[in-house]
Amino acid sequence: MAKIVRRNVLAAIGLSAGIGLPANVAFAQAAVEVIVPVAPPPPPKEVIPVLPPERVEREHWQSGYWRWNGREYVWVPGRYVERPFKAAVWVPGHWDKRPGGWIFVEGHWR
C-alpha cells in the first residue's frame, strides 16, 4: 500500500485574490507525494523510431517510465514531443529512494 504525503507549495501563477499579495503571487494547492513501498522494475528496452530530418531540430524523445497506479507499476512508453523552445533540454522523470519507499520525480524542460 502506498503512503500519501501532502506538502505545501507556493507558486507564482499571475493571480491575486485581493488578500494583500503582489499581483503575480498566489498560493497553489498542496502537492501530493505518493511513497510507494516497493522499488520500480528496471525499464524495458525501448526502440526509438528514427525521425525524418525536418523534425529532428524541433522534437525530442522522452523515454518511457514506470507509473504507479495505486496497486502496481505500469509502463508508460516513450514518445517524441515538440520542444517548447529551440535550446530546451528534457530532464527525464525518475524514481527516488526516500525513507519508507520510492517517489516519482516528474520530468521537466530546462
Instruction: Give me the tens of pLDDT residue by residue for the chain, a chain 110 residues long.
Output: 676 665 544 443 444 444 554 555 555 555 678 999 999 999 999 999 999 999 999 999 999 999 999 999 999 999 999 999 989 999 999 999 999 999 999 999 99
Residue 44: CB atoms within 10 Å: 9
Ramachandran quadrant class, 102 (left: phi over 0; alpha: psi -120 to 50; beta: rest) = beta
Same domain, yes or no, for 56 and 110? yes
Q: What is the pLDDT of residue 74?
A: 98
Same domain, yes or no, for 28 and 55? no
Number of structural domains (the chain) is 2
Same domain, yes or no, for 54 and 82? yes
Same domain, yes or no, for 70 and 52? yes
- The answer to whether the beta carbons of residues 3 and 34 sit under 8 Å apart is yes
pTM of the full structure: 0.70
| Backbone phi, psi, residue 55, to 5° | -105, -10
Same domain, yes or no, for 29 and 44? no
| Backbone phi, psi, residue 6, to 5° | -100, 135
Contacts of 80 (CB under 8 A, 6+ apart): 49, 51, 55, 59, 60, 61, 62
Q: What is the pLDDT of residue 33?
A: 85
DSSP H or E run through 27: strand 26-27
Helix, strand, coil share of the chain (percent; to 5): 5, 40, 55
Same domain, yes or no, for 76 and 110? yes
User: How is residue 18 annotated by DSSP?
Assistant: S
Query: What is the extent of the structural domain holding 58?
Result: 40-95+105-110
Q: What is the pLDDT of residue 17?
A: 47
Same domain, yes or no, for 68 and 84? yes
Q: What is the pLDDT of residue 28?
A: 53
The answer to whether residue 100 is domain-embedded is no
Residue recorded with cell 501530493 = 32
